[in-house]
Amino acid sequence: AQTVTQSQPEMSVQEAETVTLSCTYDTSENNYYLFWYKQPPSRQMILVIRQEAYKQQNATENRFSVNFQKAAKSFSLKISDSQLGDTAMYFCAFKRSTNQAGTALIFGKGTTLSVSS
Amino acid sequence: AAGVIQSPRHLIKEKRETATLKCYPIPRHDTVYWYQQGPGQDPQFLISFYEKMQSDKGSIPDRFSAQQFSDYHSELNMSSLELGDSALYFCASTTRGGDTDTQYFGPGTRLTVL
């Protein structure tokens, strides 16, 4: 069974600074997808960034980038130039790559990020 | 861009009552997922459907049932509600094809059982 671990329950950062959220996972699969979702106080689940395991290049979306280390089973999220609107719970999630439709996401416990001015 | 629609957004029920949650996926999405998120917890997968057939099953109680209809919308039926069923229920949708199979979430239905 796959597991996702986020070892930082809470983190805080000042506006304009850079912060890195950690995520490790355990799987025997070779092909899979990894995601970071953001859940602000509105509780909406918003996709931040995604990474395909077969791609060596780290994904980047504007101020958000990942450091994907497949051998170490690590998938950290870096937020550059932090903004107040980045305040949210961040979930790391794993999904097997399979021909079967409807395969579930497995979430970590989340990291609460607070950005202050 | 159109998003996943869930209704109702808020629902208050008494213990032992029934509830029905509805989910309308993004147009042209054929796969629907249901997740339950308790207070302060991560989302837990309940069940998924692809082309109106159950695809994967997680920790869904026997008191709950779900189905997907011909227009791809889905309903989660919950009976004999318990206090512990109070949670945020998310629906997500995706479509086969593409290389990421990314799930897009609706705003959730907040269920309170009194």
Residue A8: give its domain's CATH number: 2.60.40.10
Please tell me the predicted confidence (pLDDT) of residue A59.
Answer: 95
Please tell me the predicted confidence (pLDDT) of residue B96.
Answer: 67
Q: Encode burial over A73-92: b for 16+ CB neighbours within 10 A, e otherwise.
A: bebbbbbeebeeebbbbbbb
- The yes-or-no verdict on residue A53 having pLDDT over 60 is yes
Please tell me the predicted confidence (pLDDT) of residue A41.
Answer: 92
Note which residues in 66-95 of chain B have CB less than 8 A from chain A: 88, 90, 92
For residue B45, give the chain A residue with the closest CA. Answer: A104
Cα–Cα dist B51/B29, whole Å? 10
Domain range holding A84? 3-116
Mean per-residue pLDDT, A80-98: 95
What total number of domains does chain A contain?
Answer: 1
Which parts of chain B register pLDDT below 50?
A: 99
Mean per-residue pLDDT, A3-13: 97
A9 compared with B102, residue with greater pLDDT: A9
Select from A45, A47, A96 the residue whose CB has the most chain B CBs within 10 Å, as the one to mutate to test that interface: A45
Please tell me the predicted confidence (pLDDT) of residue B99.
Answer: 43
Please tell me the predicted confidence (pLDDT) of residue B97.
Answer: 58
Please tell me the predicted confidence (pLDDT) of residue A25.
Answer: 97
Could you tell me the pLDDT band of residue A45, with boundaries at 50, 70 and 90? Answer: very high
In CATH, the architecture of B5-113 is Sandwich (2.60)
For residue A38, give the chain B residue with the closest CA. Answer: B105
